[in-house]
Amino acid sequence: MPIAPHYSMLGHGPLVLLLHGAGGGWRAFAPQVEVLASLGFRAVACDLPGYGRSAPVEPYAFKGLAAGCAALIESLAPVTGGAPVAVVGHGLGGMLAQELALRRPELVRQLVLVATAAAVLPGDAYARHVAQCLAWLDEGRAMADIADTLLPRLAGPGALPAGVQLATWCQAQVHASTWRQALLAMQGFDRRAALAGLHVPTLLVAGEQDRVAPPETMQAMAAAIGGSGLFTLPGIGHLPHLEAPDEFGELLVEFLRQARVPLH
């Protein structure tokens, strides 16, 4: 039976599940947890399997990760009344959000996909990013050293310094073995053909300066998901929720409240 991952919860109201990226942890959504809780939502930020206090899954693949997320949502039925929840995912978490919505659509009422992709294909920007990260691990570099090298490359020129600092700290806390498993799982991810099967309101958020999941990649996703739309944050890189937490928070709350894509 799938084991629900460890999570932090704050607030009362409609539940919003926050799924972090490969270099994150539940604290990577700290700004959004506070904003959501203050505005009438119940924010749940979890550590994905193998991160923080969450038990790992074997094999480390999206099927098992989605099963764990589904178990978490079902375990929260006493506070949700069994109602579907909004799911926000960044990077790896955005891929997981797609997987969860496709495998267990009855659990998801809204999707917010942040700086992510529907597939990691040989030679594309996301694949090059994953390959570089794996190469650093193969060289035996420490996670703190990788974090100090990687995060300045991921952030755009308009990034909030404190947000990049938090992202760097989160990356440094990830176990190298977990990061490797997550990166390898992404290499085999391809849900392009299934995107038309997503039938929930979906907001995609891209960073204008994102070199991992560039806006054109996310625009193709938006075109394939019926009823979805893309919002691009100027001057921002691969971490919109941390580089521009205020702007991202406004987009997120408006979408969650109205179940439609905010106007540009």
Query: How confident is the model at residue 259, as a pLDDT?
Result: 62
Listed in sequence order, the residues at least 6 apart from 142 whose beta carbon sits closer than 8 Å to its beta carbon are none
Q: Where are the domains of the chain?
A: 7-258
Distance from C-alpha of 207 to C-alpha of 237, rounded to nearest angstrom: 5
Q: Please answer whether residues 77 and 51 qualify as being in contact, where contact means their C-beta atoms are separated by less than 8 angstroms.
A: no
Phi then psi dihedrals of residue 201, to 5 deg: -55, 130
Distance from C-alpha of 256 to C-alpha of 202, rounded to nearest angstrom: 10
CATH architecture of 7-258: 3-Layer(aba) Sandwich (3.40)
Query: How confident is the model at residue 182, as a pLDDT?
Result: 98
Q: What does the pLDDT profile of the chain (264 residues) look like in tens digits?
A: 678 889 999 999 999 999 999 999 999 999 999 999 999 999 999 999 999 999 999 999 999 999 999 999 999 999 999 999 999 999 999 999 999 999 999 999 999 999 999 999 999 999 999 999 999 999 999 999 999 999 999 999 999 999 999 999 999 999 999 999 999 999 989 999 999 999 999 999 999 999 999 999 999 999 999 989 999 999 999 999 999 999 999 999 999 998 654 444
Query: How confident is the model at residue 1, as a pLDDT?
Result: 67
Phi then psi dihedrals of residue 152, to 5 deg: -60, -30
